[in-house]
């Protein structure tokens, strides 16, 4: 009968499966290579650009006039030279090797992060401290992400500074409140320029490096 035939086939299949040797297991995994690392770093850079626009506006309002005025564009003071400058000729910058640009980004963000952490300890409002702390955490993630890209491409990591370079022994951080605010202004301005240029760097780099490849791996069991 049809019912008997079905039961016989089912019994046969069960017996066959029980006597099969262990089969290789299929494992679908994504190779986390340089392409994906570069994409993640690019995405984080663009996120930080967006985050900084809000933070910078809030912080400049905290500093007050003239720093929060749209047309305020002071000359860069010698004091601000300690902050890593992104004002390098674009043709010269593009002429550098990928390794040199990545190392420059890594060193710059490591130092900028140190300055921002000092800034975080000096502001007077809890909301602004919270925003600065959140941004510092994101920027720390960018430093680590750039380090991951360098490692995936086989480049050595440059040594990052442990703290911002200090001035002469016993010298105050700034002679007066206005110059201290000017230091903060230039820190934010340079950070904006670095992030803008880094986004372009990683966008070009991800076009040179192929994306991650999805592969099927066989994990032999029982052989």
- Could you give all domains of the chain from N- to C-terminal order, each with its CATH number? 34-162+177-208 (1.20.1250.10)
Counting as low any pLDDT under 50, the low residues of the chain are 2-4, 6-7, 9-31, 167-172, 213-223
- Residue 207: which of 95, 41, 39 has the closest Cα? 39
Give me the chain's average pLDDT, please.
77
3-state secondary structure of 219: strand
Cβ within 8 Å of residue 134, ≥6 positions away: 51
Q: Give residue 188's pLDDT.
A: 92
The pLDDT, as a whole number, for residue 121 is 73
- 156, 107 Cβ separation under 8 angstroms: no
Distance separating alpha carbons of residues 163 and 27, to the nearest angstrom:
45
Residue 106: the pLDDT is 95
What integer pLDDT is reported at residue 122 of this predicted model? 77
Which pLDDT belongs to residue 17? 41
Q: What is the pLDDT of residue 175?
A: 66
């Amino acid at each position: 009968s049809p019912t008997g035939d079905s039961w016989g086939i089912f019994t046969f299949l069960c017996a066959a499966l029980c006597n099969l040797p262990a089969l290789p297991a299929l494992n679908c995994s994504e190779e986390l290579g340089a392409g994906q690392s570069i994409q993640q770093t690019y995405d984080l850079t663009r996120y930080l650009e967006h985050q900084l626009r809000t933070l910078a506006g809030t912080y400049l309002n905290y500093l007050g006039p003239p720093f929060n005025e749209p047309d305020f564009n002071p000359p860069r003071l010698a004091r601000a030279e300690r902050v890593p400058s992104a004002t390098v000729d674009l043709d010269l910058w593009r002429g550098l090797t990928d390794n040199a640009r990545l190392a420059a980004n890594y060193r710059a963000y490591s130092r900028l992060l140190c300055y921002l952490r000092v800034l975080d300890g000096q502001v007077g409002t809890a909301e602004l401290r919270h925003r600065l702390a959140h941004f510092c955490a994101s920027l720390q993630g960018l430093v680590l992400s750039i380090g991951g890209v360098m490692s995936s491409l086989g480049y050595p990591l440059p040594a990052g500074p442990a703290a911002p370079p200090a001035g002469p022994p016993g010298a105050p951080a700034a002679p007066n409140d206005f110059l201290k605010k000017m230091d903060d202004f230039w820190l934010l301005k340079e950070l904006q320029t670095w992030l803008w240029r880094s986004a372009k760097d990683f966008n070009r780099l991800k076009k040179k490096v192929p994306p991650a490849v999805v592969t099927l791996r066989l994990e032999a069991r029982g052989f």
